[in-house]
């Protein structure tokens, strides 16, 4: 599949979709506290998305049973919300959510500490977030896709963390997952040339230990093989001739 370049009209719709998602994430972040269940977070996310007149795009995606992926501690991504999974002080939690507005998808993820967390956990969250910003310094027309991958890799590797390899970022638009795939680790080639109008979901998933992951028996929840903590940070980004536009930030 070719990588789509969005028209001016499509870009406006992507902007609106992503702006709504940014607001949903703000509210989800405010709800994080010890004692909340991961199912309550999902229910709040679904309600906020529907109240905005949008559709949760994760719900029923390949059978995924919720609107928000809630992944705790050693869970990397795609944790399934549950009434019996209660967040407690010291946990870290990744929230991944997306929605459809007038046919256009948005996708973003944040990782939060629950109450007071360890300095090591805080550092993992900050490095994961910053790795996204290091990556998008390269996200502009005329550069190449894997320049982004290499920049994320160089930054994260300097901390000795493991970069998840089995899951990658992606193009996004009228589908949640469009071409191209966007690895968060060095590719030893520069890949396709970026063009203004491409919309990309860039999403480093970073483990405090090794990069290897496993799937739980629910066939969704991805965990670190070594049990180390994992963080996730994602935004939908528009490539322009100048600075990239981060569409899912408020």
Q: For ligand MF3, which is the closer residue by CB, 136 or 201? A: 201
Q: Binding to ligand MF3 by residue 91, rule CB under 6 A? A: no
The C-alpha atoms of residue 84 and residue 36 are separated, in whole angstroms, by 10
**Closest to 107 (Cα-Cα) out of 159, 151, 67, 156:** 67
Of Co ion, ligand MF3, none, which one sits near residue 46, judging by CB under 5 to 8 A according to partner kind?
Answer: none
In the complex, minimum distance from the CB of residue 172 to ligand MF3, in angstroms, rounded to a whole number: 8
Q: How far is CA 237 from CA 33, 48, 227, in A?
A: 29, 22, 31
Region near Co ion per CB under 5 A, out of 12-20, 103-111, 122-130, 134-142:
103-111
Q: Could you tell me which of 87, 109, 81 has the C-alpha nearest to residue 97?
A: 109
**Cβ pair 56, 50 in contact under 8 A:** yes
Angle between helices 119-136 and 145-157 (to 10 degrees): 150
Judged by CB under 6 A, the residue of 36, 49, 69, 145 near ligand MF3 is: 69
User: If contact means CB under 5 to 8 A according to the sort of partner, which of Co ion, ligand MF3, none does residue 171 touch?
Assistant: none
Q: Which of residues 197-216 bind ligand MF3 (CB under 6 A)?
A: 201, 203
From the list Co ion, ligand MF3, none, which binds 58 (C-beta under 5 to 8 Å, kind-based)? Answer: ligand MF3
Residue 114 in the binding site for Co ion (CB under 5 A): no
Q: Answer yes or no whether residue 181 interacts with ligand MF3 by CB under 6 A.
A: no
Question: Apex CA 86: angle with CA 84 and CA 90, to 5°?
Answer: 155
Nearest CB to ligand MF3, comparing residues 64 and 159: 64
Stretch of residues binding ligand MF3 (CB under 6 A), selected from 4-12, 17-25, 60-68, 119-127: 60-68
Reduced to 3 states (helix: H, G, I; strand: E, B; else coil), residue 118 is coil
**Which residue in this structure is represented by tokens 């491409």?**
198
Secondary structure (3-state) at 94: strand
When CB distances to ligand MF3 are compared, the closest residue is 58
Q: Which is nearer to Co ion, 36 or 182 (CB)?
A: 182
> In a 10 Å sphere around its CB, with 0-12 CB exposed, 13-18 middle and 19+ buried, how is residue 35 labelled?
exposed
Residues 141-180 that bind ligand MF3 (CB under 6 A): none
Could you list the residues that contact ligand MF3 (CB under 6 A)? 58, 61-62, 64, 69, 78, 96, 98, 107, 201, 203
Could you list the residues that contact Co ion (CB under 5 A)? 107, 201, 203
């Amino acid at each position: 599949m070719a990588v789509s370049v969005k028209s001016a009209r499509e870009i406006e719709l992507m902007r609106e979709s992503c702006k709504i998602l940014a607001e949903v994430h703000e509210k989800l972040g405010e709800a994080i506290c010890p004692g909340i269940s991961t199912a309550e977070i999902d229910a709040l996310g679904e309600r906020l998305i529907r109240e905005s007149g949008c559709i949760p795009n994760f719900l029923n995606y390949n059978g995924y049973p919720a609107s928000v992926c809630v992944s705790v501690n050693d869970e990397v991504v795609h944790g399934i919300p549950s009434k019996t999974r209660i967040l407690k002080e010291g946990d870290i939690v990744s929230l991944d959510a997306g929605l459809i507005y007038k046919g256009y998808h948005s996708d973003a993820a944040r990782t939060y500490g629950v109450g007071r967390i360890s300095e090591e956990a805080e550092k993992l969250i900050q490095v994961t977030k910053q790795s996204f910003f290091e990556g998008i310094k390269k996200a502009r027309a005329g550069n190449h896709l894997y320049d982004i991958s290499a920049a994320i890799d160089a930054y994260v590797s300097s901390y000795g963390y493991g970069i998840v390899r089995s899951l990658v970022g992606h193009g996004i638009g009228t589908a949640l997952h469009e071409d191209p795939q966007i690895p968060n680790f060095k590719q030893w080639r520069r890949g396709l040339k970026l063009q203004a109008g491409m919309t990309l979901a860039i999403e480093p998933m970073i483990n405090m230990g090794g990069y290897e992951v496993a799937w739980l028996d629910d066939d969704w929840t991805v965990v670190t093989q070594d049990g180390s903590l994992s963080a996730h940070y994602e935004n939908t980004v528009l490539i322009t001739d100048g600075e990239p536009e981060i569409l899912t930030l408020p």
